[in-house]
Structure 1
């Protein structure tokens, strides 16, 4: 899936930026940062004159849309925005310039139910555990948050045997969309991926002592066609001026 962000109108750009210098940047971004990026991308495009062609895909997993799999197929990107440790793996593989790495935001896991359904109690670990045990079905993503739920969270709560038969890892598709359709009773995913989806009620973040905080980061592939312009975009996304939009999307600013 591709989404293009183009300047809405030609602005009088600063002397350092002329239309002749404008670049067409291809940005691959994963779900957790996408809501913030959809706010910030058009702003940057209007200010810089650059065109941002956006390619969506998870940070990891077997889906062909996953960013590592796209790069492995030779797909072009000037910027990749993804889970930090998945980006680090691409750096180890020599696919992303290590000097380009920029930390962008922290993401926490939340819960949704179908709109109109009773809102369960999850304020404490005991309440959250009971809500999961009482649920008929639970869905989570095939990215960082879902991997944590399946491999660690259930074990921490001591309920893995009870949850395994009624839990589903949803590949690529937004978990909240499946909950809105009535496919699953409860959805767990990063808050920033839950909030934009209609047809669900956001219950809240899971208790802090059970959280897995995912750091989102960005980098520039070694094959980028416009590395200088890509660096300017990353500086903008990480800037103090971008933080209000980052937080409004459900993410937390990275401590600086």
Structure 2
């Protein structure tokens, strides 16, 4: 597989042996994950499946919000999962609602917000707070996610920059698809979302991340679901996803792996 080139053969081989030893019986592991971790997840899951013999049944949705495919909506209508991966705020909400095993939160990656425009169009300046403000005021249309990053932008950053009134006219909150897709087809002039959700669109030019002074770094975290049918296999999948051996794959998707790891609560 061409995306494994950055992992040493020794490290990956050791991981395969570990999984083979610990997972003697094949299982179907049901996982739901939010957008920012999706690209890394899609690269890593086939490696895990090949090494372990398990099958990962995946679902995707926004960390927050009431879109039909959002993770909260999936839980509300009773969809069953073993493991959930989403923004820290969304995870804590599920934990408070009793959907997850207490103490099972495990931070996987850090993610930052960036911006992109359609390839071949002018690249506005967002390198400073003032430049970002002027870009937002000048843009004819601004797309942002209905999930964690977009909530921060619309409820905190836009008011802080004094552009909320303008964005009420030009802003577009995007539900159930990636902001990059909206910008790529020309339905928005500029789009803001997690870097890992923008950089894979060949139709886009990535501008950069928000200035440090107004950046929001979000943890994307995992939790064990109450009533999980395959908790042991799900824990082994999570161990694989947070292994140092796969960290370079994760970084290549625009995310920063979290070094600190705590054991998941027993179930």
Q: Give the one of 176, 181, 188 matched to 2:180.
A: 176
State how far apart, in whole Å, the 1-side matches of 2:99 and 2:22 are: 30
Deviation at 1:220, TM superposition (A): 1.3
Q: State the number of aligned residues.
A: 244
User: Does the 8 Å CA contact 1:100/1:231 hold for their aligned counterparts?
Assistant: no
User: How well do the aligned residues superpose, as a CA RMSD in angstroms?
Assistant: 1.5
Whether 1:89 and 2:128 are equivalent positions in the alignment is: no
- Post-superposition CA distance 1:17-43 (Å, at most 9, x none): 33xx01111110110110111111111
Whether 1:17 and 2:20 are equivalent positions in the alignment is: no
Distance 1:227 1:118, change over 3 A: same
Q: Give the 3-state SS of the residue equivalent to 1:164 in structure 2.
A: helix
Stretches of structure 2 lacking an aligned partner (at least 5 in a row)? 1-15, 261-267
User: Does the 8 Å CA contact 1:102/1:238 hold for their aligned counterparts?
Assistant: no
State how far apart, in whole Å, the 2-side matches of 1:143 and 1:163 are: 17
User: Does the 8 Å CA contact 2:242/2:257 hold for their aligned counterparts?
Assistant: no
Whether 1:114 and 2:118 are equivalent positions in the alignment is: yes
Whether 1:40 and 2:31 are equivalent positions in the alignment is: no
Stretches of structure 1 lacking an aligned partner (at least 5 in a row)? 1-10
Normalising by the residue count of structure 1, what TM-score does the alignment of the two structures yield?
Answer: 0.91
Instruction: Give runs of ≥4 in structure 1 deviating > 3 Å.
Output: 11-18
State how far apart, in whole Å, the 1-side matches of 2:178 and 2:20 are: 39
State how far apart, in whole Å, the 2-side matches of 1:174 and 1:63 are: 13
Deviation at 1:59, TM superposition (A): 0.9
Matches within 5 A, 1:1-256: 14-18=20-24, 21-256=25-260
State how far apart, in whole Å, the 2-side matches of 1:15 and 1:154 are: 51
Normalising by the residue count of structure 2, what TM-score does the alignment of the two structures yield?
Answer: 0.87
